[in-house]
């Protein structure tokens, strides 16, 4: 990704917006030219934030990285948790995984439950609209078949 080798203009914007979604937490500002991890930045001081709902320890969330009985296996399958990233290997710094896309102005999990990748799937179901006999219905103006969908 471009964030790890030197950021492109306006890269990684969504992951740098403030306040953090669903909170009043303001991230440390990260200029576009400082997003990439290969860019030297001695004064980088990200804000620590993990949502209270995640810290409460729901079943879908990891414990805090500092807990003595928790030692995740990053970049591999960790029991029932897949900690491999679809983007390849990610680095670990001070026992925590680094965002492979670059700096975000925040450390911690925010609203994410897992340390490392948080895999998700958003199913989309489609079908052609049909009449009582099972024939496809076409749009009266365009003449094209009508596609129906359900998305989450």
Same domain, 110 and 52: yes
Number of domains in the chain: 2
Same domain, 66 and 136: no
For residue 6, pLDDT over 70 is answered with: no
Summarize the confidence of residues 62-76 as an average pLDDT: 94
Global confidence as pTM: 0.74
For residue 97, pLDDT over 90 is answered with: yes
Structure confidence at residue 54 (pLDDT): 97
Same domain, 94 and 37: yes
Same domain, 42 and 3: yes
Same domain, 19 and 60: yes
Query: Could you write out the three-class secondary structure of the chain?
Result: CHHHHCCCCCCCCHHHCCCCCCCCCCCCCCCHHHCCCCCCCCCCCCEEEECHHHHCCCCCCCCCCCCCCCCCCCCCEECCEECCCCCCCCCEECCEECCCCCCCCEEEEECCCCCCCCCCCCCEEEEECECCCCCECECCCCCCECEEEEEC
For residue 37, pLDDT over 60 is answered with: yes
Same domain, 38 and 106: yes
Range of the domain at 56: 1-120
Structure confidence at residue 152 (pLDDT): 83
């Amino acid at each position: 990704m471009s964030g790890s080798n030197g950021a492109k203009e306006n890269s990684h914007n969504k992951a740098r917006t403030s306040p953090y979604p669903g909170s009043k937490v303001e991230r440390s500002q990260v200029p576009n030219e400082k997003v990439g991890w290969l860019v030297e930045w001695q004064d980088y001081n990200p804000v620590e934030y993990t949502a209270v709902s995640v810290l409460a320890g729901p079943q879908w969330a990891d414990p805090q990285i500092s807990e003595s009985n928790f030692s995740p296996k990053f970049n591999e399958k960790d029991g029932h948790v897949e900690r491999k990233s679809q983007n390849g290997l990610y680095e670990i710094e001070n026992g925590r995984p680094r965002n492979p896309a670059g700096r975000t102005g925040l450390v911690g999990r925010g609203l994410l439950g897992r340390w490392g990748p948080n895999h998700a799937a958003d199913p989309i179901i489609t079908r052609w609209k049909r009449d009582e006999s099972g024939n496809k219905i076409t749009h009266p103006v365009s003449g094209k078949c009508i596609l129906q969908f359900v998305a989450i």
